[in-house]
Every structure is written in structure tokens, then in C-alpha cells.
């Protein structure tokens, strides 16, 4: 029996506690693990800046055979509860109440880490009547978790595998299922675990939901924990259920004839878990799992409904739990065979649930027992209650409900204020800012100005845009204050509700406007809808679509947002350099140098543009300055050498190249030394020089379009996906390829050609994949598609598993209008574990191909991936079009509204919004054709913005004709 290993947990400090509660004075932290309280810190004063220093340590023992075993560490996080310490008055003792909770995942301790330092976000406990908590809280706990030795050796971890199982929901549940608090809806399956044991993986406390809307995508996965005080703390960080088209699933009910049933079932009564549980399989367990799947592909997952005890019982385990009857007992047969296929790491799908019959279960799975019936003693079926506070958890009080309503209404106030400020700005543009100094404006003038303002707002489409800004805050009030999510049975009920809602909204509109006009609590103007990073993305999208005017507009907007952003000036300069406006590029690069005369990247780019403008003396000064300011920069010396070579100054060129190579040798030697030292300690860190050289430039905003292939991480991926292939060797890193990566970021094509010529001469084993990708990039810019194709053919030959190669090949086929081949390439890219450098454009173009082929389900899935990766107007437009074609009108309008919020000058977005408004009017979804006016406004804006999609324009006009009104532009 192995010796226990202490796992020490140190709560160092807390940050931003004032965002939880403004008048917070004293707090303490309680640490719990696996249902046991490990200890409380001492009472600590909260400083005025919202920080608190705890320096509190506690520990538990990890033991393979103890209560905190390997299986527990994989599944359960540490729970931290922040408690407020206060006294009601001088005569009474201190009162302790929970404020917030945080969790810390211990999985890294099993992945070769001995010390883990995290800033765990604190999630607010629902507010008590005596104190209001703020939902925008940004508080967090700084926590260190450490062990004296590795919990798993490198060999143990590499030979095993981590298995995670997510249970989303059970649909079409029996009518006998009720929302009774004493009913526990559970599912369970058993897996081989470390040490040749059988590990039951239990999903408890499923929530029965009534008829209503479908579960949203994406949505967070939950920890397999019992009820806790802060429900948001149950969300597993960066782990989401993303959904996908039925036809892409691995399970059952994924045919076209099942779609209607799935759609109906997923919005009807259902039991929802959205829970992920994990287990670590050692080498023996992996072998057992593989053998059992090969012998019998189906794996039983049991589902049951069981009473959790009578009223008034405590949460202590009841010995009679084992004897309680199972009210419902079903089983699903999950086909696990796909996991044995090369490259497959997950399966997802819907599976039918059958009544549990011993003979049938044995026939399909060779399992001779039921976990719920025969092995219930292995399960902990009592309802866990983690993080219980010193005070009882009573039902929400009236004050709590009022606090909740206040948070719902606060968003509405902000939106009203934002729209009011925008309308005032429109008024100033029409009539000027100077108002009458004395007296009151006469009624006739006021009415005339009002008429003109209304006309301007309606004809420009701004009226509809303002209304869109208010829509979601109103929907939120309807859902969360009035708890209304279903349709009205009669027109009278609808009218009564609308009247009540109208009065409520108008009252709060007046409150918001009075606060704005009186100057009380006037906050800063709301931030713009788009960030600088998003504007850069929009500009690149416009470049890819050859809309250079729009791209220039986005680059200029980015500079206008922050004229002191060096990176914004450099990016715009790179755009100008590519499209032959070298003088404008020079102005941009010089502006960057003015902002920081010692900015190496700006100096180098000034030198490059001077070469293009043939002002060679100035160029030499810039290159020399860069080398003097940063003598350890490989790229600076290499570019200086290329410049001197252009001037036929071969002595200086050779000197510069020699200095760059000396620096590279020193860098590689240092890397080798670090690697050897790390291997001696049993670690293998990532190589510090696998990427481009770090120049102090803040250039992380713009990743390189081509990434040099063959890094150690890519090698590992290639081995996993094709075990029979020989392990590729990393290509030699040279000063010229390091420089090429920098030059390609800023479109310095002439210097790229010079560097690639040297690269070709310096290599002993022939050109690398990165060489051909870079050379192909130059042909792509010149639209020389045959030569680009030749380069990609060589790149595929050298590195057939490099996702960047297949992404570029997909782009080539797309531009050649060979959409079948482009689709194959793009699908290959998204199947790789590693992403390509330009996944955004892979998603956009693959989604457009799916739309053209009327594969709307796949298009929706791909565009949603793009939105998750880097949302833009075009990604949300793709989602909206796919949803519209799938007749998912609500989702379509939501997606198009997101697109409109990011860019309200896209004519196609307005066109599809017009179609949706017409569709609602045609279907009678809005009484008396109430969306006709919206449809007209959307169409006017579509025409004003110059829609180029003739098919969409024709579709709108046909819908207008069916509705019975003409073209408002005529």
C-alpha cells in the first residue's frame, strides 16, 4: 500500500472584493474538498482597494486507496467559500454569512505539475435581504496548490488516457416524472479504472424542465457536485456544450426523418444535467476498455428515478437507500466502436432509452448486473450539499426577488440612456448645438424640428437600429420579471399583458431619462460595440473579399479609436504597403516612430518602405538605428544584411548576416541547455524559439498568416493521427526564415523574396515546408495561381499533416472555384487537432460552401464555430442565413441582430432581417401585420446600402408582393 501524499492548499489573497459588496469590512475563507471542510482562515480586514491577505494553508492526503483517490482528484475541484464576518450590534456575537464561492480544478496535478497557482473567480451567492451583491463582480482568490512529489510519473501519465463523459439531457421523459424535490433523476455507467477496478460514474440531481424553449448553444458544462450556494461556480471553466447538426452525430435518431421528433422533444419536458465527469485510465484500464469495446460495441448507460427520502429528513446517508424501490429504470446502449477508429477522440449523439431487461442488457453488452439495482452500495445516492453556510438556505425572500428585478431593469436603463444620447447627437447634427439662450422655443419650431428628426431617423434606418438596441433588454424583463416565456391563449390576455408592460417600460424610460437630463449618476459613455481587435478582423475580412475601400475604413476607424496605438498605425501601414500606396505607408510607419523613437519594429518598417521609395540613405539610418538599439535582435541584423546586399555592399551584408547567425547559435545553445536541465528534472518544456523572434512591439494583435511547420507539438499530433508514418524531424531554423515570418506580417514582398533566396542557398537537405508556404504566399498576392499551386504541392509532399498547408490549398481551390476540392481541404483542416493559423477564413469559406450546397445544418455548425473563435458581422450573418433556411426564425433574427450590432452597414444583414419581418407578418406571428413597418425600414436600408446579391433582392421583392405592398424605393 503506497504512502499518502499531502496536497497543500494555500489561499494567498483576494482581489476586487468591493465588487461583491461595497461596504465589506471583514472576511474569512473556508476550504472544502470531497465533502469535508479542511479549515477556515482567520478573520481578515478588507483593505480600501478591495484586497485581503489571508496566507492560510491547509491540506488533505491523496492516496490511491483512500477517500481522496486518483478518481476523486480527476472529478472533483477544491471548493472555496468567502464568508463575511459582521456583528449586528455591540451586544450580539459576530454573524457569518456566505458571499461568494470559487473552485480550483486539480487535474493539472495529474499532468506532471507539482505546484499550481491560479486566480479563481469568485461567483456571488444570491443576495440576502440585508445586503445587495453586484452581478458584475470581478473578485477572485489567489490560490496555490502544491505537492512534494508527482502524483503520477511521466510514464504513468503518458501510457494512460483521460476519459471525460458529458450527459446533457433526457428527452421525451414519462409523464410520471415530476419536479418533486424528493425525486432524484440519475444516470450511471461503469468504466475500468486504475488498478483494474471498476469505477461507477454517476450523474445525479437532474433537473426536470417543463415545456418551453430549447437549451441554448453553447452552454457551460457543470461539475459533478451537489447543490452549492453559488450556482455559477458549478460551471467548468472553458468547457462548453456546443451542439451540432443531427446528421453529424455518432448516435441514433440522426436521420432526416428524425429531425421533427428531435426538434419537438428537445423543447418539451426533459431532464437536464449538462454535467461532465472524468476518470483516468491507466495502461491496463485502457487495454481492458479497448478489448471490451472490440468484443461488444455497445456500452450500457442506466437511467433511473428514485426517491431521495421523506420530508424533513437530513442529508445524511440513509442505510435504507439500498432497499428503496426504483420508480423508473431504463438503459441506453451507446455504440463505442467509433473510439477504436484512428484519430477519433470523441463520440456524441442521442441514444434511445429502453426498459431495463436483464436478458436484453446481457445480450447486447455482456454485462450481468445493474449498477442501480445490484451494486447500489458502491454509489453515494444521498443528495450532496457542498459549501453549506453557517446560516440556513431559505427560500428566496421578497428582498432577494426585488434585487433580482433591479438587475434585470438596470440593463434597460442603460440601453435607454444610450439610445437617448444617440438621438441627441442626431438632433445636434441636424440643428446644431446652440440652443436659445433665453425663453422657450416656440411650439411651431419645436414641432417642425421633431418632424424633421423623425423623418431622418425613419428614412435612414436608424429608428429600426435604435429599436433593436432596446429589444433584448425588454425581452429580458419579460422573461425574468414577468416570467413569461410561452404564447398567450387569447388576444385579450395578450392585450392586457402588453398594456401592463407598456406602462412599466414607459415609467422606467422616464426614470432613466430624468437621471440622464438631471446629471445624476451620469456614467461615462458606453464603450463602442466593436473593439480594436474586432476592427482589425473586419479589415482583414474586407481584404480577403477584395473590398479595399471598406478595409481602409476599418483600419482608419481603429486608428481613430486610439491614435496612440503603435500597432494600429503599423497594421494600416502594412495594408498601404501591399496595395502600392508606399507614401501613405511611410506616413503610418513614421507616425509609429514618433510615438516611440526606440520601437524596433517601426524603425525596421521605416527602413523597408524607404527602400521601396528608393531613399536609400534614410533607409540605412533606420536599419543602423534598429541594430544599435537592439543589438541582440536576429531579425534586425538579418534585414540590415538584406538591405546592404541590395546596395551591393557585400562586406557590410556579410558582417550583418554573421552577427545574426552568431545570435541564433547562442539562442539554440541556450535552448539546448534549458532542455537538458529540464529533462534531468523529469520535465520537457516547450521550446522557447519554435515561434518567431519576440521583438518588443506588441505584435500579438496580428498572428502570422503562415506558421513554420514541424514544431514538437505538431509532431506529436502527426504521430497520433498516423501512427504508421515515420516521426518527422523539425526543420532547421535559420535567420532568414525567422525574418520571413516578420516580413510577411507587414507585406514586405521584396524583402521576402530576398530572404527566401538566401534560405534556398543555405539549406543542405532542400527547401522546407515553411519555405514553400512563404513562396506560395508571394504568388498568392500576385494572383499567380499556377505557381502557388506548385508550391503547395511541394509543401503537401513534405508535411502532409500540416494544417496550414491544407488551409492554403483550400483557399487556392476556393479562388479557382473548385468548391468540392476546397471543401475537402477545409474539412481536413478542421479534423486536425492543431488549428491552422487562419482558421477564421477556413470557417467562413467552408460555411459559404455549405450554404451554396444547401447543407444548412452543417453551415450553421461551422459558422457557430467561427463565432466562438472570432465573432464578426460575417460569421453571425452566416449563422443567420443558415437558421433562416432551416426555418429557425427566432435564432435567425438573434444571429442577424448580433451581426447588425457589429456592423450596421452590411446590406445583406438588412436584407435577411427584412425577409424575417415579412415572414412573421405572413405567418400571422404578429397580430395585424405589426412587422410590416419594420420590413419596410429594413428594405429601405438594404437598398440604400447597395445590396449586390440579386437573388436575395428578388426574394425580398417576391415576399413583398405576397404580403401586398410594393417596393418602397420606387
Rounded to 5°, angle at Cα 400 from 397 and 401: 90
**Upper half-sphere CA count for residue 788 (Cβ side, 13 Å):** 19
Q: What phi and psi values does residue 146 have, to the nearest 5 degrees?
A: -145, 155
Instruction: Compute the distance between CA of residue 849 and CA of residue 855 in angstroms, rounded to an integer.
Output: 9
Question: For the chain, what is the mean pLDDT?
Answer: 81
Confidence at residue 820, expressed as pLDDT on a 0 to 100 scale: 92
**How far is residue 729's CA from residue 798's CA, in Å, rounded to a whole number?**
11
Tell me the per-residue pLDDT of 212-255, one tens digit each, with 9 for 90 and over.
Answer: 778 888 889 998 887 788 888 888 888 889 888 887 788 888 88
- CB distance 689 to 733 below 8 Å: yes
46-85 pLDDT, tens digit per residue, is: 999 999 999 999 999 998 888 888 888 998 999 999 999 8
How far apart, in whole angstroms, are the C-alpha atoms of residue 380 and residue 627? 67
How many residues are listed for the chain in this entry? 970
Q: What is the pLDDT of residue 711?
A: 32
The Cβ of residue 450 has, within 10 Å, a number of other Cβ atoms equal to 11
CB 582 within 8 A of CB 604: no
What does the alpha-carbon distance between residue 389 and residue 382 come to, in Å, rounded to a whole number?
19
Beta strands per DSSP E along 709-750: none
Distance CA 574, CA 748 (A): 8
CA–CA separation, 890 and 922 (whole Å)? 15
Identify the burial level of 970 via C-beta atoms within 10 angstroms of its C-beta, where 0-12 means exposed, 13-18 middle and 19 or more buried. Answer: exposed
For residue 224, give the DSSP letter. Answer: S
Retrieve residue 798's grid coordinates.
513534405
Q: Is 703 left (phi over 0), alpha (psi -120 to 50) or beta?
A: beta
Q: Over the stretch 419-474, which tens digit does the pLDDT of each residue have?
A: 888 788 778 777 775 554 444 566 677 777 887 888 777 766 677 777 777 876 78
Nearest CA-CA partner of 724 in 806, 787, 812, 801: 801
pLDDT at 413: 82
pLDDT in the model for residue 452: 82
Q: What is the pLDDT of residue 367?
A: 87
Among candidates 301, 307, 311, 300, which has minimal Cα distance to 323?
Answer: 307
Q: Which residues of the chain have pLDDT under 50?
A: 1, 128-133, 310-319, 383-401, 403, 436-439, 520-527, 687-692, 694, 696-731, 925-929, 968-970
Say how far apart CA 167 and CA 372 lie, in whole Å.
17
SS3 264: helix
Q: What angle do CA 174, 176, 181 make, to 5 degrees?
A: 115
Do 31 and 103 contact (CB within 8 A), yes or no?
no
C-alpha to C-alpha distance for 405 and 479, rounded to whole angstroms: 11
Distance between CA atoms of 703 and 782, rounded to whole angstroms? 22
User: Could you give the CA distance from residue 168 to residue 243 in angstroms, rounded to a whole number?
Assistant: 10
Cα–Cα distance for residue pair 643/632, rounded to 1 Å:
18
Residue 130: predicted pLDDT: 39
Q: Cell 468567502 identifies what position? A: 82
Q: For residues 450 and 686, what is the distance between their CA atoms, to the nearest angstrom? A: 65
Burial 30-41 (b: 16+ CB within 10 A, else e): bbbbbeeebeeb
**DSSP classification of residue 350:** B
Q: Is-contact 600 697, C-beta < 8 A?
A: yes
Q: Report the alpha-carbon distance of residue 640 to residue 629 in Å, rounded.
A: 13
Q: 382, 378, 385: which is closest to 188 by C-alpha?
A: 378
Element of type H or E holding 199: strand 197-203
SS3 705: coil
Do residues 275 and 203 make contact, with C-beta atoms less than 8 angstroms apart? yes
Name every residue whose Cβ is closer than 8 Å to that of residue 36 and which is 6 or more positions away in sequence: 60
For residue 147, the 8-state DSSP code is E
The C-alpha cell that represents 208 in the structure block? 426536470
- How many angstroms separate the CA atoms of 231 and 272, rounded? 15
Amino acid at each position: 500500500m503506497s504512502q499518502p501524499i499531502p496536497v497543500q492548499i494555500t489561499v494567498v489573497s483576494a482581489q476586487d472584493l468591493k465588487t461583491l459588496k461595497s461596504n465589506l469590512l471583514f472576511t474569512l475563507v473556508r476550504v472544502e474538498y470531497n465533502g469535508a471542510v479542511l479549515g477556515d482562515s482567520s478573520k481578515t480586514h478588507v483593505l480600501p482597494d478591495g484586497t485581503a491577505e489571508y496566507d492560510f494553508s491547509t491540506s488533505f492526503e491523496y492516496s490511491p486507496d483512500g477517500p481522496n483517490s486518483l478518481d476523486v482528484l480527476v472529478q472533483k475541484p477544491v471548493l472555496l467559500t468567502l464568508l463575511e464576518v459582521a456583528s449586528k450590534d455591540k451586544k450580539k456575537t459576530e454573524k457569518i454569512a456566505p458571499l461568494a464561492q470559487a473552485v480550483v480544478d486539480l487535474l493539472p496535478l495529474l499532468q506532471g505539475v507539482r505546484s499550481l497557482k491560479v486566480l479563481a473567480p469568485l461567483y456571488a451567492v444570491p443576495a440576502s435581504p440585508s445586503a445587495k451583491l453586484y452581478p458584475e463582480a470581478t473578485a477572485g482568490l489567489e490560490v496555490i496548490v502544491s505537492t512534494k512529489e508527482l502524483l503520477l510519473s511521466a510514464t504513468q501519465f503518458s501510457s494512460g488516457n483521460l476519459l471525460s463523459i458529458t450527459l446533457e439531457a433526457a428527452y421525451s421523459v414519462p409523464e410520471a416524472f415530476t419536479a418533486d424535490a424528493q425525486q432524484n433523476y440519475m444516470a450511471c455507467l461503469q468504466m475500468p479504472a486504475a488498478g483494474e477496478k471498476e469505477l461507477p460514474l454517476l450523474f445525479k440531481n437532474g433537473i426536470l424542465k417543463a415545456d418551453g424553449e430549447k437549451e441554448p448553444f453553447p452552454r457551460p458544462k457543470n461539475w459533478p457536485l451537489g447543490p452549492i450556494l453559488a450556482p455559477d461556480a458549478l460551471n467548468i471553466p472553458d468547457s462548453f456544450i456546443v451542439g451540432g447538426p443531427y446528421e453529424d452525430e455518432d448516435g441514433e435518431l440522426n436521420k432526416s426523418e428524425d429531425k421533427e421528433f428531435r426538434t419537438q422533444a428537445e423543447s418539451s419536458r426533459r431532464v437536464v444535467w449538462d454535467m461532465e465527469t472524468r476518470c483516468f485510465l491507466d495502461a491496463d484500464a485502457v487495454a481492458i476498455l479497448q478489448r471490451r469495446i472490440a468484443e461488444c460495441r455497445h456500452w450500457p448507460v442506466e437511467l433511473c428515478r428514485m426517491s431521495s427520502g421523506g420530508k424533513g429528513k437530513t442529508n445524511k446517508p440513509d442505510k435504507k437507500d439500498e432497499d428503496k424501490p426504483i420508480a423508473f429504470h431504463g438503459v441506453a446502449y451507446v455504440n463505442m466502436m467509433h473510439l477504436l477508429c484512428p484519430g477519433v477522440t470523441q463520440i456524441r449523439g442521442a441514444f434511445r432509452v429502453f426498459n431495463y431487461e436483464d436478458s436484453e442488457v446481457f445480450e447486447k453488452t455482456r454485462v450481468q448486473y445493474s449498477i442501480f439495482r445490484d451494486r447500489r452500495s458502491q454509489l453515494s445516492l444521498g443528495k450532496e450539499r457542498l459549501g453549506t453556510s453557517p446560516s440556513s438556505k431559505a427560500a428566496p425572500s421578497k428582498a432577494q426577488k426585488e434585487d433580482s428585478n433591479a438587475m434585470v431593469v438596470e440593463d434597460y436603463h442603460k440601453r435607454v440612456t444610450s439610445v437617448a444620447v444617440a438621438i441627441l447627437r442626431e438632433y445636434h447634427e441636424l440643428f446644431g448645438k446652440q440652443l436659445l439662450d433665453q425663453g422657450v422655443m416656440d411650439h411651431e419650431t419645436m414641432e417642425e424640428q421633431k418632424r424633421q428628426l423623425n423623418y431622418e431617423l425613419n428614412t435612414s434606418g436608424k429608428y429600426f437600429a435604435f429599436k433593436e438596441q432596446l429589444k433584448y433588454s425588454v425581452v429580458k424583463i419579460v422573461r425574468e420579471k414577468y416570467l413569461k416565456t410561452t404564447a398567450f391563449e387569447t388576444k385579450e390576455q395578450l392585450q392586457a399583458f402588453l398594456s401592463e408592460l407598456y406602462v412599466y417600460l414607459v415609467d422606467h424610460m422616464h426614470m432613466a431619462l430624468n437621471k440622464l437630463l438631471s446629471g445624476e449618476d451620469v456614467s461615462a459613455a458606453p464603450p463602442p460595440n466593436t473593439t480594436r481587435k474586432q476592427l482589425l478582423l473586419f479589415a482583414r475580412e474586407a481584404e480577403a473579399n477584395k473590398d479595399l475601400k471598406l478595409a481602409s475604413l476599418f483600419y482608419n476607424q481603429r486608428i481613430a479609436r486610439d491614435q496612440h496605438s503603435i500597432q494600429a498605425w503599423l497594421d494600416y501601414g502594412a495594408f498601404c504597403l501591399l496595395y502600392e500606396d508606399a507614401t501613405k505607408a511611410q506616413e503610418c510607419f513614421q507616425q509609429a516612430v514618433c510615438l516611440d523613437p526606440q520601437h524596433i519594429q517601426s524603425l525596421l518598417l521605416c527602413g523597408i518602405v524607404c527602400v521601396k521609395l528608393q531613399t536609400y540613405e534614410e533607409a540605412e539610418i533606420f536599419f543602423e538605428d534598429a541594430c544599435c538599439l537592439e543589438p541582440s535582435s536576429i531579425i534586425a541584423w538579418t534585414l540590415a544584411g538584406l538591405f546592404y546586399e541590395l546596395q551591393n555592399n557585400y562586406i557590410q551584408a556579410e558582417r550583418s548576416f554573421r552577427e545574426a547567425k552568431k545570435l541564433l547559435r547562442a539562442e539554440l545553445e541556450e535552448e539546448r541547455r534549458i532542455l537538458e536541465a529540464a529533462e534531468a528534472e523529469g520535465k520537457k518544456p516547450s521550446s522557447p524559439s519554435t515561434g518567431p523572434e519576440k521583438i518588443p512591439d506588441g505584435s500579438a494583435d496580428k498572428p502570422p498568416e503562415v506558421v513554420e511547420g514541424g514544431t514538437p507539438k505538431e509532431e506529436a499530433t502527426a504521430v497520433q493521427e498516423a501512427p504508421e508514418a515515420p516521426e518527422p524531424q523539425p526543420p532547421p531554423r535559420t535567420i532568414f526564415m525567422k525574418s520571413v515570418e516578420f516580413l510577411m506580417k507587414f507585406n514586405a514582398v521584396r524583402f521576402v523574396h530576398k530572404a527566401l533566396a538566401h534560405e534556398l542557398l543555405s539549406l543542405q537537405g532542400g527547401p522546407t515546408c515553411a519555405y514553400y508556404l512563404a513562396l506560395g504566399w508571394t504568388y498568392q498576392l500576385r494572383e499567380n495561381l499556377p505557381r502557388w499551386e506548385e508550391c503547395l504541392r511541394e509543401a503537401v509532399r513534405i508535411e502532409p499533416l500540416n494544417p496550414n498547408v491544407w488551409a492554403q490549398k483550400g483557399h487556392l481551390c476556393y479562388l479557382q472555384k473548385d468548391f468540392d476540392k476546397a471543401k475537402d481541404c477545409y474539412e481536413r483542416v478542421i479534423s486536425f487537432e492543431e488549428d491552422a493559423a487562419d482558421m477564421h477564413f477556413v470557417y467562413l469559406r467552408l460555411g459559404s460552401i455549405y450554404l451554396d450546397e444547401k447543407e444548412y445544418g452543417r453551415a450553421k455548425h461551422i459558422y457557430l464555430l467561427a463565432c466562438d473563435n472570432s465573432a464578426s458581422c460575417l460569421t453571425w450573418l452566416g449563422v443567420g442565413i443558415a437558421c433562416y433556411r432551416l426555418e429557425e426564425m427566432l435564432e435567425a433574427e438573434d444571429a442577424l441582430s448580433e451581426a447588425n450590432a457589429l456592423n450596421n452597414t452590411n446590406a445583406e444583414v438588412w436584407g435577411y432581417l427584412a425577409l424575417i419581418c415579412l415572414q412573421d407578418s405572413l405567418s400571422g406571428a404578429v397580430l395585424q401585420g405589426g412587422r410590416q413597418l419594420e420590413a419596410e425600414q429594413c428594405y429601405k436600408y438594404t437598398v440604400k446600402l447597395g445590396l449586390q446579391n440579386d437573388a436575395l433582392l428578388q426574394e425580398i421583392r417576391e415576399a413583398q408582393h405576397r404580403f401586398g405592398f410594393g417596393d418602397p424605393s420606387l
